[in-house]
Chain A
Amino acid sequence: MATIWNSRQFGLGFIVKLILVGLVDALGVFVILAAWRAESWWILGFMVLALAAINYTYFTNRHTLPLKYILPGLVFLLAFQVFVIFYTGYIALTNYGDGHNLTKDQAVASLLAQNERRVEGSAAYPLTVLLRGDELGFAIVDDSGVRVGTADEPLQPAPDAVVAGGKVTEVPGFEVATPQDVFSRQSEIVGLRVPLSDDPEEGSIRTQNGATGFVFRSTFAYDEAAGTLTDSVTGTVYTATDRGQFQAPDGTTLATGWRVFVGTENFTRAFTDTQYSGPFLRVLTWNLAFALLSVVTTFLLGLVLAIVFNDERQRGRKVYRTLLLLPYAFPAFLSALIWSGLLNRRYGFINQVLLGGAEIPWLTDPWLARLSVLGVNLWLGFPYMFLIATGALQALPRDIQEAARVDGAGPLRTWWSVTGPLVLIATAPVLIASFAFNFNNFTLIYMLTEGGPRFADTSAPIGATDILISMVYSISGVDGSAPKNYGLASALSIVIFAVVAIISGLGFRQTRRLEEVL
Chain B
Amino acid sequence: MRRGIATIGIAASLVALTACGGGPAATTPAPTEPATSAPTTQAPTDYTGAELTIWVDETRKDAVESAGKVFTEATNAQVKIVQKNYEDIQSDFTTQVPLGKGPDITIGAHDWLGNLIQNGVVAPIEMGDKAAEFEPVALSAFSQDGQLYGVPYAIENIGLIRNTELAAEAPATWDDALAAGKAAGTKYPILIQVGETGDPYTMYPLQNSFGAPVFKQNPDGSYTSELAMGGAQGEAFATWLAEQGKAGTIDTAITYDIAVSSFAKGDSPFIIGGPWMIDSFKDLKLAIDPIPSAGGQTASPFVGVQGFYVSAQSQNAIVANDFLTNYIATTDVQYALYEVGNRTPALTSAAEKAASDPLAAGFATVASTAVPMPSIPEMAAVWTFWGVTQANIVSGKQEPVEGWQKMISDIEGQIKK
Contact = CB atoms under 8 A, between A and B. Distances in A.
B398 interface: yes
B410 A459 contact: yes
B317 A118 contact: no
Contacts of B87: 480
A454 interface: yes
A183 B321 CA distance: 12
B323 to A, nearest CB: 10
Interface stretch (B111-119, B285-293, B300-308, B342-350): B111-119
B193 interface: no
Contacts of B125: 208
B204 to A, nearest CB: 18
Contacts of B403: 456
Contact of A344 (B46, B117, B253, B318): B253
Nearest to A108: B120
Interface stretch (B328-336, B351-359, B381-389): B381-389
B129 interface: yes
Contacts of A186: 315-319
B91 A480 contact: yes
Interface stretch (A63-71, A95-103, A307-315, A495-503): A95-103
A477 B395 contact: no
Contacts of A363: 196
Contacts of A190: 317-318
Interface in A92-114: 98-99, 101-103, 106-107, 109-111, 113-114
A106 B313 CA distance: 9
A183 B75 CA distance: 11
B369 interface: no
A124 interface: yes
B398 A483 contact: no
A117 B147 contact: yes
Contact of B380 (A102, A275, A477): A477
Contacts of A454: 197, 388, 392
Contacts of B42: 209, 211
A251 to B, nearest CB: 13
A203 to B, nearest CB: 13
B46 A183 contact: yes
Given A98-B119, A98-B377, A183-B47, A345 B253 contact: yes
A361 to B, nearest CB: 9
Contact of A482 (B147, B315, B384): B384
A211 B130 CA distance: 14
Contacts of A461: 384-385, 388
B126 interface: yes
Residue among A180, A209, A459 with most chain B CB within 10 A: A209
Interface string B91-117: 100110010100000000000001101
A38 B316 CA distance: 17
Contact of A180 (B46, B123, B316, B384): B46
Given A117-B146, A179-B46, A480-B2, A209 B325 contact: yes
A212 interface: yes
B120 A478 contact: no
A275 B413 CA distance: 10
Residue among A208, A345, A364, A478 with most chain B CB within 10 A: A208
B94 A483 contact: no
Interface in A401-436: none
Contacts of B218: none
B319 A452 contact: no
Nearest to B376: A255
B118 A99 contact: yes
Contact of B312 (A103, A110, A182): A110
A211 B41 CA distance: 8
A117 B125 CA distance: 10
A481 B47 contact: no
B401 interface: no
B43 interface: yes
B48 interface: yes
A208 B126 CA distance: 7
A182 B45 CA distance: 9
A190 B123 CA distance: 11
A117 B398 CA distance: 49
B41 A453 contact: no
Given A183-B319, A212-B41, A364-B196, A256 B119 contact: yes
A453 B196 contact: yes
B125 to A, nearest CB: 7
Contacts of A448: none
A189 interface: yes
A99 B377 contact: yes
A452 B121 CA distance: 33
Interface residues of B, number: 66
A214 B196 CA distance: 51
Nearest to B403: A456
A452 B128 contact: no
A180 B48 contact: yes
B128 A456 contact: no
B224 interface: no
Nearest to A341: B257
Given A102-B119, A103-B98, A482 B253 contact: no
A483 B98 CA distance: 18
B160 to A, nearest CB: 24
A18 B287 CA distance: 73
B321 A208 contact: yes
B301 to A, nearest CB: 21
A99 B119 contact: yes
Given A116-B124, A187-B315, A452 B258 contact: no
A275 B381 CA distance: 14
Interface string A267-308: 000000001000000000000000000000000000000000
A124 B129 contact: yes
A482 B319 contact: no
A209 B322 contact: yes
Nearest to A461: B384
Contacts of A101: 94-95, 98, 118-121
A210 interface: yes
A193 interface: no
A346 interface: yes
B21 interface: no
Contacts of B380: 98, 477, 480, 482-483
A347 interface: yes
Contacts of B397: 453, 456
Nearest to B98: A102
Contact of B318 (A106, A183, A255, A480): A183
Contact of B120 (A106, A207, A459, A482): A106
Nearest to B258: A347
Contact of A256 (B90, B120, B316, B383): B120
B50 interface: yes
Contacts of B414: 459, 482-483
Interface string B1-42: 010000000000000000000000000000000000000011
A429 B298 CA distance: 65
Interface of A: 38, 98-99, 101-103, 106-107, 109-111, 113-114, 116-118, 124, 167, 178-180, 182-184, 186-187, 189-190, 207-212, 214, 216, 255-256, 275, 344-347, 363-364, 450, 452-454, 456, 459, 461, 477-478, 480-484
Interface of B: 2, 41-50, 87, 90-91, 94-95, 98, 100, 114-115, 117-121, 123-126, 128-129, 145-147, 196-197, 251-253, 258, 312-313, 315-319, 321-322, 325, 377, 380-381, 383-385, 388, 392, 395, 397-398, 403, 410, 413-414, 417
12 contacts: A106-B313, A111-B120, A114-B145, A183-B318, A208-B317, A275-B413, A346-B253, A454-B197, A459-B385, A461-B384, A483-B417, A484-B91
